[in-house]
Amino acid sequence: MATPSTANYIIGKGILSFDRWDQDGLPTGMRDLGNAPNFTITPTVEMLDHFSSREQLKKKDLTVNISAGLTVKFTLDEFDKENLAIALFGTVSGQQITLMADTVLRGHLRFIGNPAAGPRFRVELWKVSLKPTSEVPFISEEWATVEFDGTVEADDTGHPSQPYGYIEQFWTS
């Protein structure tokens, strides 16, 4: 939809899935993470300033970007064994989670939008390193959640034309 249009305003909702890679870097299968009340993507840029030292007061004469990337944040509120394993760097065997068994948390992250209003998006991030950033609350007076941060890494080998992933609008609700 072209701008300006109120059809472009969004009340975001959707399904977040993760394919956690095993210790050999092989996919284990895309899995719905359950209810995710929050999912964000943030571009990051590191800049380097240069200053002239030709006068008493230094003056900034150039700024260049020296790195760029993407980060993600999301919150989960479904406490199944697989989500707990992700939150505690664990592995699952039957009904048991072995804690801190796999401290590398990397894989493919997918979001399929199902907004209450606005455009619908699909997000594919090929290679994401995640880390839990909150406590795992087993006792709580409110709905408990677990939060994650992630860094999107380039996958030049597997996806040379889209090394970080893509976002696609696939229809307007």
pLDDT at res. 92: 96
The amino acid occupying position 37 is P
- Is there a contact between 141 and 126 (Cβ–Cβ < 8 Å)? no
pLDDT at res. 170: 85
pLDDT at res. 94: 97
Classified by CATH at the fold level, domain 12-172 comes out as Elongation Factor Tu (Ef-tu); domain 3 (2.40.30)
Burial class (CB in 10 A: 0-12, 13-18, 19+), 150: buried
Residue 76 CB: number of other CB atoms within 10 A?
26
pLDDT at res. 2: 86
pLDDT at res. 109: 99
Three-state SS at 92: strand
CA pair distance 123, 128, nearest whole angstrom: 13
**How is the chain split into domains, by residue range?**
12-172
pLDDT at res. 172: 55
pLDDT at res. 114: 96
For the chain (length 173 residues), average pLDDT per consecutive 10? Answer: 90 98 95 98 98 95 97 98 97 97 96 96 98 96 98 97 96 58
Whether this model's pTM surpasses 0.85: yes
CA pair distance 142, 139, nearest whole angstrom: 9
